[in-house]
């Protein structure tokens, strides 16, 4: 039997993008052989998905100067450069810390909002739902000092303030009420409280007084060249205590991880969707501080419902049981784990097909640009074509901390 040390070593290995790619590939191979329990693959339809992504990329970015897929795109929806507001009066280092604070908060709050929730921005009158609404709401909440100890210095996410967040204050900031329900409001508040406690307990990474933005100082002290895999590794190890206790191994929480019967031994399939979304979202603030982020393509595509919905709606992934798509599914169910694993593996196959259609090399057009151009937006577009409300083809039971 594996020892406790063996289990801890395996758990640490699972907290990486390399493990996401490796374990998802195992599920993909089973599906290629026709051995996956829940879905079949029709790889002949992958070209249709690539055509859609390439065409949409050209429409959205006619000059093909596509930025990275990150939370920063959502802060500027509706033609408003809200990102320019962040710590505008601070020095260069403080602006980076504040942007990291905001990115961490906003990404952690970027789980499924629900079909009916909307946020009306008082400053512009614009109304947004889903991921864009959560982004704008989180930025405005930070601007108004919700996450700061001192309301006169609002552009901060202080650990002490985060640890004191309650559902009522978060609900008010996000306009959650019986007629405008934001899914998982209690769980979102609990996630922020755990974030505050986690930062306060780790001054080596999060400084004193503790805040997520001090990760900038932690990384800068280690040198100007920062591998993307190290950004993710730091996030996964440092933030491991904040996630709901879904799975653990050797006493190590595994975060966004599921289990699938195609994977021998422990059966675990990691995804780390929000953590990788956060890693992508930290690249721009760090590069603005003259840090060099290398190896971006060592991160994976994001196993979420827009990318996964693209492949389902294009017929690349087909359910074995047609009724599977008509009932809500738990996020950790094997069917959802299988779908997410196939999504990650297919994004690696979609990327070169999209580049070929755009005449771009992998160096010119990394996976982060394919996602932004891209696959996520194409998943939303085809959902609107297929279903009046634009809902994804699979209904996930959300707890506000995963999708």
What angle separates helix 4-14 from helix 17-32, to the nearest 10 degrees? 90
Convert the pLDDT of each residue in 10-28 to its tens digit: 989 999 999 999 999 999 9
Please tell me the total number of residues recorded for the chain in this structure. Answer: 403
pLDDT at 34: 97
Judged against a pLDDT cut of 70, whether residue 403 lies above it is answered with no
> What pLDDT is attached to residue 228?
95
pLDDT, position 398: 67
Q: What pLDDT was estimated at residue 213?
A: 97
Of 199, 201, 174, the residue nearest 186 (C-alpha): 174
State the pLDDT at residue 322. Answer: 86
User: Tens digits of per-residue pLDDT, 124-168?
Assistant: 999 999 899 999 999 999 999 999 999 889 999 999 999 999 999
pLDDT score of 171:
97
What percent of the chain stands above pLDDT 70? 97
pTM: 0.92
Rounded Cα distance, 237 and 214, in Å: 16
Residues 114 and 180: their CA atoms lie apart, in Å, by: 10
Nearby residues of 127 by Cβ (< 8 Å), 6 or more positions away: 118, 119, 120, 121, 133
Cis ω for the linkage preceding 374 (within 30 of 0): yes
- On the question of pLDDT at 100 being above 80, the answer is yes
Give residue 247's pLDDT band: very low, low, confident or very high (50, 70, 90): confident
Instruction: Round the average pLDDT of the chain to a whole number and report it.
Output: 93
pLDDT of residue 402: 57
CA-CA-CA-CA torsion sign (240, 72, 185, 122): positive
Q: Count Cβ neighbours within 10 Å for each residue of 370-402 and write b for 16 or more, e otherwise.
A: bbbbbbbbbbbbbbeeeeeebebbbebebbbbb
Q: What is the mean pLDDT of residues 367-391?
A: 94
Report pLDDT for 240.
86
Please say whether the beta carbons of 142 and 134 come within 8 A: no
* Domain limits, the chain: 4-397
Residue 66's pLDDT is what? 96
Report percent pLDDT > 90 for the chain.
83
Question: In this predicted structure, what is the pLDDT of residue 6?
Answer: 82
**The pLDDT value given to residue 113:** 84
Q: Please tell me the predicted confidence (pLDDT) of residue 399.
A: 60
* pLDDT tens, position by position, 171-204: 999 999 999 999 989 999 999 999 999 999 999 9
**Mean pLDDT of the region 386-400:** 84
Answer whether residue 319 shows pLDDT above 70.
yes
Question: What is the pLDDT at residue 3?
Answer: 66
């Amino acid at each position: 039997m594996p020892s406790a040390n063996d289990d801890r070593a395996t758990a640490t290995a699972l907290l990486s993008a390399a493990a996401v790619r490796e374990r998802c590939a195992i599920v993909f191979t089973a599906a290629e052989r026709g051995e996956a329990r829940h879905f079949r693959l029709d790889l002949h339809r992958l070209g249709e998905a690539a055509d859609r992504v390439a065409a949409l990329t050209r429409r959205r970015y006619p000059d093909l100067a596509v930025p990275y897929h990150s939370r920063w795109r959502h802060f500027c929806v509706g033609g408003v450069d809200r990102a320019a507001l962040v710590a505008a009066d601070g020095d260069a280092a403080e602006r980076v810390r504040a942007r990291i604070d905001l990115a961490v908060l906003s990404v952690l709050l970027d789980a499924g909002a629900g079909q009916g929730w909307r946020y009306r921005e008082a400053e512009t009158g614009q109304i947004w739902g889903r991921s864009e609404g959560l982004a704008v709401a989180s930025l405005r909440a930070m601007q108004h000092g919700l996450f700061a100890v001192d309301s006169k210095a609002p552009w901060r996410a202080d650990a002490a303030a985060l640890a004191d967040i309650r559902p009522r204050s978060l609900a008010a900031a996000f306009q959650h009420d019986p007629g405008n329900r934001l899914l998982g409001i209690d769980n979102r508040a609990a996630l922020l409280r755990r974030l505050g406690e986690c930062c306060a307990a780790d001054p080596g990474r999060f400084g004193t007084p503790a805040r997520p933005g001090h990760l900038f100082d932690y990384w800068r002290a280690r040198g100007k060249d920062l591998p993307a895999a190290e950004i993710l590794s730091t996030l996964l190890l440092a933030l491991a205590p904040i996630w709901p206790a879904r799975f653990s191994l050797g006493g190590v929480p595994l975060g966004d991880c599921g289990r699938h019967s195609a994977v021998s031994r422990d059966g675990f399939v990691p995804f780390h969707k929000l953590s990788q979304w956060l890693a992508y979202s930290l690249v721009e603030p760090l590069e603005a501080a003259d840090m060099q982020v290398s190896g971006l393509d060592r991160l994976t595509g994001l196993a979420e419902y827009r990318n996964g919905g693209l492949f389902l709606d294009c017929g690349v992934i087909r359910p074995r049981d047609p009724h599977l798509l008509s009932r809500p599914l738990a996020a950790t169910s094997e069917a959802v784990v299988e779908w997410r694993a196939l999504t990650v593996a297919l994004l690696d196959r979609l990327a070169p097909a999209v580049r070929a259609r755009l005449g771009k090399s992998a160096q010119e057009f990394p996976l982060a640009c394919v996602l932004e151009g891209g696959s996520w937006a194409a998943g939303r577009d085809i959902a609107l074509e297929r279903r009046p409300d634009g809902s994804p083809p699979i209904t996930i039971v959300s707890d506000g901390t995963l999708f």
